[in-house]
Chain A
């Protein structure tokens, strides 16, 4: 077992089972609940892949659909089994992965067994696939009524020409209709493999006991799956597909988002964390709550306190997004572009740099309060061969120079798109 010092007196215990499953345990004394999450590297962007020489193309929304169907087992729904032992279970699908989790006060061993069964067995019938379509259709429609969601969805689809991040994670009402039992089974067999997942366990628990139990529970299903697949992505051009997208729906205030397409791809380990942190520091120093621009626009009434920026980064795509609610989305668009021009000429503001690094240090410390946040960050980092232990080291090593390099790569003239959702006048 490998012991990784995370600082603040926290340690992470890591192992890899013979079947290739990675297991990490982070004890947090005094916590009442125990939280275990397994992340499968299969998300909404993994639509195309090769099986031997044959390329398979699957419909948008399939990873999310499969997530729903994993809970159904031979004669029962496994979520009920979790309830039976006092645990609550859940799952979510992102662009890049699918995570299954439970939270429990007791019966940890039984819960671990159930989690292994949840992700390593599949029982679906044509009937149950059909029935799920109406449930997922309602899920998609629920999001369709939310203008912020719509705005982001339109932004990503306007930025990307070929990359599947342009599709909604849940797909569309039309795309999920074409999903069949056969396709789901095929994707399941290819992606739900021990060596394509990582397990995180946190809470007041016995490290050895938990590690062993996870190992034996998951290894019980070793060898039941097909061979590994490489997801494939079509080449994505540097520029955006469409610079401005305007969508009309009922909303009292316009919702808008500007995205910069990042082409620094394929980074792993510390370089992945570096890219992420430099992007965050760039966005925060240029547009964060303490920046000149935020304050100027806030005072003018161009933005309100829901204005914010975030970076969405994967090895195959990357996007820096600024989101706002505004009564004047077009004026804000010009103002952002103008600010980007100035920053490109003069570099990021220097005066806030050390202060913001302190803020990020604080937010890293804060991460340890939440088992959910720890699990998510750990598992996500793991997909990029990065570790939590590197976070503070990388943060410490970042200079203004690094952030300016990021600026030059990200804030360009040909790589941004703007999405507006506004009321039909």
Chain B
């Protein structure tokens, strides 16, 4: 589980993991920008247009056909929210050359596909192709609107949006519909060029690529022209003196509850391992207090969980219940949080939780995205530790340290979505 690191130049980094247990290899290029409302939608719109065509494969049909011919290599361009950064990402996953009759020489074709999608998009004059621009603008508008159809995720997104209104973290990963209106193909191309030229770049390669990272370094050498900014620091904020209460209404069959907490313990904090265990005791697993009490004992919910955002240091607890049980569920969640604060958890619960965290951390090493994202999380948080190191820290945490971390967890916002108006 070791990435081989090459610094190509200032702010251009390559991490190569030559693990050979997978049948495919995965290449991802991350352009890391600060998260803010306007650029979130611009980044996402750019990523959607990139997938439409390149100079060599100018239509979606031609591009898709070329990928199918490469044994169904999958190529995706997207954005993700990672702490208070907004990452524009392009990735390709392909069958390891050693399993193919073409052998090593096919590798260049895979890398070239990724390269041309990033650097040679379809363009007209100084802008993206107008047709693609208009179509994807309308697709993004639909995408932003239809987030509401996934109620569990929607409720979490809305809670965080309200809770972090004044911080970059409140910005959703797609941005806002209104910000799309002012864009045009030329200004968007200008924005995109800025992103790929002046922000930090991380290239991850996982899987057996035969010749290692060398072909990548050569192919992507143009990233080393000009200067690049640094990743911005994360904004800190304490919970308000009075809990914020946000109620939203729409016709639903099940009411959703999300409680947002501030912990201000981030991944780089020495107390982070204790916070991970707090989250595990509270709601990350089936043996956790929320599942055992809200679901198994009281029969109020089918799903109930808690989750940490490691870079921002926020924790959310979430459940789907009948709307008549919303208040009761809020009470139960608060009781369980307070129980941990008072040290009311058994040795068994603690032991189970440590094992479950271990299982989760190491199991992630059995997939490409698991390996890449845990490494990237370390980089963005400014504390690059291997999963094994975090694991050791988790094993060493004692009861008092968990209680100490628990007492830093403060409720900020209670968000509910229900049908009663």
Asked if B300 is at the interface of the complex by the 8 Å CB criterion, the answer is: yes
Kindly state the separation between the CA atoms of A304 and B70 in the bound complex, as whole angstroms. 24
- Nearest 5 Cβ contacts at the A-B interface: A30-B21, A362-B71, A359-B72, A86-B355, A362-B72
Contact-residue bracket for chain B: 35 or more
Kindly state the separation between the CA atoms of A336 and B229 in the bound complex, as whole angstroms. 49
Q: A33-B362, A105-B358, A359-B71 are in contact. Are A139 and B251 (CB under 8 A)?
A: no
21 sampled A-B residue pairs with Cβ under 8 A: A31-B366, A32-B365, A33-B366, A83-B287, A83-B352, A84-B351, A105-B358, A105-B359, A135-B302, A142-B253, A142-B320, A145-B252, A146-B151, A250-B148, A253-B146, A304-B143, A325-B142, A355-B65, A365-B23, A365-B95, A366-B95
Asked if B68 is at the interface of the complex by the 8 Å CB criterion, the answer is: yes
Assess whether B356 is in contact with A88, with CB atoms less than 8 Å apart.
yes
Assess whether A359 is in contact with B149, with CB atoms less than 8 Å apart.
no
Asked if B165 is at the interface of the complex by the 8 Å CB criterion, the answer is: no
**Residues in chain B near residue A88, CB distance under 8 A:** 285-286, 356, 359
**Chain A 127-146 interface 0/1 with B at a Cβ cutoff of 8 Å (1 = within):** 00001101110110110111
Shortest beta-carbon distance from A104 to chain B in Å: 7
Which one of A159-167, A269-277, A367-375 is at the B interface?
Answer: A367-375
**Residues in chain A near residue B251, CB distance under 8 A:** 249-250
Q: Closest residue to A88 on the B side, CB-wise?
A: B359
**Chain B 242-261 interface 0/1 with A at a Cβ cutoff of 8 Å (1 = within):** 00000000111110000000
Assess whether B69 is in contact with A139, with CB atoms less than 8 Å apart.
no
Kindly state the separation between the CA atoms of A325 and B21 in the bound complex, as whole angstroms. 38
Number of chain A residues whose Cβ lies closer than 8 Å to a Cβ of chain B: 68
Report A44-63 residues with CB < 8 Å from chain B CB: none
Which one of A226-234, A293-301, A383-391, A402-410 is at the B interface?
Answer: A293-301
**Residues in chain B near residue A30, CB distance under 8 A:** 19-21
Shortest beta-carbon distance from B208 to chain A in Å: 11
Assess whether A298 is in contact with B60, with CB atoms less than 8 Å apart.
yes
Shortest beta-carbon distance from B318 to chain A in Å: 12
Assess whether A252 is in contact with B142, with CB atoms less than 8 Å apart.
yes
Assess whether B69 is in contact with A355, with CB atoms less than 8 Å apart.
yes
Assess whether A369 is in contact with B22, with CB atoms less than 8 Å apart.
yes
Q: A32-B366, A83-B286, A105-B362 are in contact. Are A290 and B302 (CB under 8 A)?
A: no
Kindly state the separation between the CA atoms of A252 and B254 in the bound complex, as whole angstroms. 19
Q: Closest residue to B363 on the A side, CB-wise?
A: A33
Kindly state the separation between the CA atoms of A89 and B356 in the bound complex, as whole angstroms. 11
**Residues in chain B near residue A330, CB distance under 8 A:** none
Kindly state the separation between the CA atoms of A327 and B146 in the bound complex, as whole angstroms. 12
Q: A31-B21, A103-B359 are in contact. Are A147 and B99 (CB under 8 A)?
A: no
Asked if B269 is at the interface of the complex by the 8 Å CB criterion, the answer is: no
**Residues in chain B near residue A136, CB distance under 8 A:** 302
**Chain A 79-95 interface 0/1 with B at a Cβ cutoff of 8 Å (1 = within):** 11001111111000000
Q: Closest residue to A31 on the B side, CB-wise?
A: B366
Kindly state the separation between the CA atoms of A370 and B72 in the bound complex, as whole angstroms. 17
**Residues in chain A near residue B295, CB distance under 8 A:** 135
Q: Closest residue to B301 on the A side, CB-wise?
A: A138
Asked if A350 is at the interface of the complex by the 8 Å CB criterion, the answer is: no
**Residues in chain B near residue A369, CB distance under 8 A:** 22-24, 367-368
**Chain A 248-264 interface 0/1 with B at a Cβ cutoff of 8 Å (1 = within):** 01111101000000000
Given A253-B146, A358-B70, A362-B73, 14 additional A-B pairs, CB 8 A: A77-B296, A86-B355, A88-B359, A103-B363, A142-B302, A146-B151, A251-B146, A252-B148, A255-B149, A290-B68, A298-B135, A352-B68, A366-B95, A369-B23
Q: A32-B366, A138-B254, A295-B59 are in contact. Are A360 and B142 (CB under 8 A)?
A: no
**Residues in chain A near residue B181, CB distance under 8 A:** none
What number of A-B contacts does a CB cutoff of 8 Å give? 174
Kindly state the separation between the CA atoms of A135 and B286 in the bound complex, as whole angstroms. 14
Assess whether A142 is in contact with B68, with CB atoms less than 8 Å apart.
no
Assess whether A135 is in contact with B287, with CB atoms less than 8 Å apart.
no
Asked if A334 is at the interface of the complex by the 8 Å CB criterion, the answer is: no
Asked if A16 is at the interface of the complex by the 8 Å CB criterion, the answer is: no
Kindly state the separation between the CA atoms of A87 and B99 in the bound complex, as whole angstroms. 33
**Residues in chain B near residue A292, CB distance under 8 A:** 61
Report B32-82 residues with CB < 8 Å from chain A CB: 59-61, 64-65, 68-73
Asked if A361 is at the interface of the complex by the 8 Å CB criterion, the answer is: yes
**Residues in chain A near residue B320, CB distance under 8 A:** 138, 141-142
Asked if A397 is at the interface of the complex by the 8 Å CB criterion, the answer is: no
Assess whether A145 is in contact with B253, with CB atoms less than 8 Å apart.
yes
Instruction: Say which residue of A103, A305, A327, A362 sits within 8 Å of B95 (CB atoms).
Output: A362
Asked if B321 is at the interface of the complex by the 8 Å CB criterion, the answer is: yes
Report B321-368 residues with CB < 8 Å from chain A CB: 321-322, 348, 351-352, 355-356, 358-359, 362-363, 365-368
Assess whether A301 is in contact with B138, with CB atoms less than 8 Å apart.
yes
Asked if B193 is at the interface of the complex by the 8 Å CB criterion, the answer is: no
Asked if A29 is at the interface of the complex by the 8 Å CB criterion, the answer is: yes
**Residues in chain A near residue B187, CB distance under 8 A:** none
Instruction: Say which residue of A104, A105, A358, A365 sits within 8 Å of B68 (CB atoms).
Output: A358
Kindly state the separation between the CA atoms of A85 and B139 in the bound complex, as whole angstroms. 47
Q: Closest residue to A144 on the B side, CB-wise?
A: B253
Q: Closest residue to B1 on the A side, CB-wise?
A: A32
Kindly state the separation between the CA atoms of A252 and B286 in the bound complex, as whole angstroms. 34
Asked if A393 is at the interface of the complex by the 8 Å CB criterion, the answer is: no
Report B85-114 residues with CB < 8 Å from chain A CB: 93-95, 99
Kindly state the separation between the CA atoms of A145 and B363 in the bound complex, as whole angstroms. 32
Assess whether A290 is in contact with B287, with CB atoms less than 8 Å apart.
no
Assess whether B69 is in contact with A358, with CB atoms less than 8 Å apart.
yes
Shortest beta-carbon distance from B329 to chain A in Å: 11
Shortest beta-carbon distance from B131 to chain A in Å: 8
Kindly state the separation between the CA atoms of A370 and B370 in the bound complex, as whole angstroms. 12
Q: Closest residue to A138 on the B side, CB-wise?
A: B302
Shortest beta-carbon distance from B370 to chain A in Å: 10
Asked if B190 is at the interface of the complex by the 8 Å CB criterion, the answer is: no
Q: A30-B19, A33-B363, A84-B352 are in contact. Are A142 and B135 (CB under 8 A)?
A: no
Assess whether A83 is in contact with B355, with CB atoms less than 8 Å apart.
yes
Kindly state the separation between the CA atoms of A16 and B274 in the bound complex, as whole angstroms. 47
Asked if A356 is at the interface of the complex by the 8 Å CB criterion, the answer is: yes
Asked if A289 is at the interface of the complex by the 8 Å CB criterion, the answer is: yes
Assess whether B300 is in contact with A134, with CB atoms less than 8 Å apart.
yes
Assess whether A301 is in contact with B286, with CB atoms less than 8 Å apart.
no
Kindly state the separation between the CA atoms of A361 and B70 in the bound complex, as whole angstroms. 10
Kindly state the separation between the CA atoms of A136 and B254 in the bound complex, as whole angstroms. 12
Instruction: Say which residue of B64, B71, B135 sits within 8 Å of A365 (CB atoms).
Output: B71
